[in-house]
Amino acid sequence: MIRAVLIAGLLLGAMASAQAQTTLRVGDQKGNSQAVMEAAGMLKDVPYKIEWKEFPAAAPLLEALSAGAIETGLVGDAPLTFAAAANIPVKAIAAIRQSREGLAVLVRKDSAVRDFESLRGKKIATGRGSIGHQLILAALESKGWSTSDVQIVFLAPSDAKVAYTQGSVDAWSTWEPYVSQEEVLFHSRRVITAEGLTPGLGFQVATPSAIRDKRPELEDFIRRLTAARAWSQTNVSAYAETWGRLMGIPPAVPLNWLSRAKIRVAPIDESVVADEQQTIDLYFRSGLIKQKLSAADIVDRSFSGPIGKGAGL
């Protein structure tokens, strides 16, 4: 009898614990947060459930955030700017810093195009509002050109890949891991990168309701993501091998990407706000957003603690 009561008590306790466990719905893009956290062992013993949803680009991820289908996710600075201009209620809670060599305009190996200047009047594929779009705008501005000096063809990554491969566009402005896939597997060439042109920021963003109602989960997630990125910087070859296996892609592709990327999570500080303002100002000058936004209004600086812990500071 006592044994039965004890067993019943344990079962009730387990059920209560299961019912109390919360779920954090996380949006991701191919081979990013989930891959590095899994490779670094940061998805073990998570005291809440992570429900992952993968998106081909930032725009649909932000739409899912706006619709309440997810609560946090990874996007670039350009899509965040568009989202803010569209009054989508999200806040940047952590920044992703990396080298800008993996954001590039690509041409096929047999292309006669040798530099960005040679693309005048030609077709460049990219996603509307993406960091690839941002790179084109920044490159045009650096040359003193207008948007009419090239033909921007707006396509989702999968469609852009097809158009680029088939030669229906002359170039593709894209990001990692697409850049390294094209370089390593198909010998595409980068004719311009974002180095010196754009801040190259990524952001972990979250809805205001998640920041309010799931702060412990968000803080723990950010800490784990920061620790995973720190691990990846000192274990590049191991991470590239694991990433390649997880994605079903030859390890030479992620090795090419990760060796130069040096991806790390950084707190939202004055430098991050200034860099995001640079992106906002570029989009405003280009006429793609109609109001002058303040970067300080679309960030939340209160997650620096877990970022510091994850980085071992």
What burial class does residue 267 get, using C-beta atoms within 10 Å of its C-beta: 0-12 exposed, 13-18 middle, 19+ buried?
buried
Please answer whether residues 178 and 126 qualify as being in contact, where contact means their C-beta atoms are separated by less than 8 angstroms: no
- Please give the single-letter amino acid code of residue 270: E
- Domain locations along the chain: 23-93+201-310, 104-193
Tokens representing 91?
A: 């806040």
Q: What pLDDT does 134 receive?
A: 92
Which residue shows structure tokens 């570029």? 282
CATH class for the region spanning 23-93+201-310: alpha beta
Residues 6+ apart with CB under 8 A from 73: 26, 27, 28, 55, 61, 62, 64, 65, 204, 205
Four-residue CA torsion sign, 67, 73, 79, 84:
positive
The number of residues making up the chain comes to 313
pTM: 0.85
Q: What pLDDT does 285 receive?
A: 92
How far apart CA 238 and CA 293 sit, in angstroms, is 41
Q: Do domains 23-93+201-310 and 104-193 have the same CATH topology?
A: yes
How do the pLDDT tens digits run along the chain, 313 residues long?
Answer: 444 444 444 444 443 344 468 999 999 988 889 999 999 999 999 999 999 999 988 889 999 999 999 999 999 998 999 999 999 999 999 999 999 999 999 999 999 999 999 999 999 999 998 899 999 999 999 999 999 999 999 999 999 999 999 999 999 999 999 999 999 999 999 999 999 999 989 999 999 999 999 999 999 999 999 999 999 999 999 999 988 988 899 999 999 999 999 999 999 999 999 999 999 999 999 898 998 899 999 999 999 999 999 998 6
| pLDDT tens-digit map of 201-256 | 999 999 999 999 999 999 999 999 999 999 999 999 999 998 898 889 999 999 99
Q: What pLDDT does 57 receive?
A: 85
Q: The domain 104-193: what is its CATH number? A: 3.40.190.10
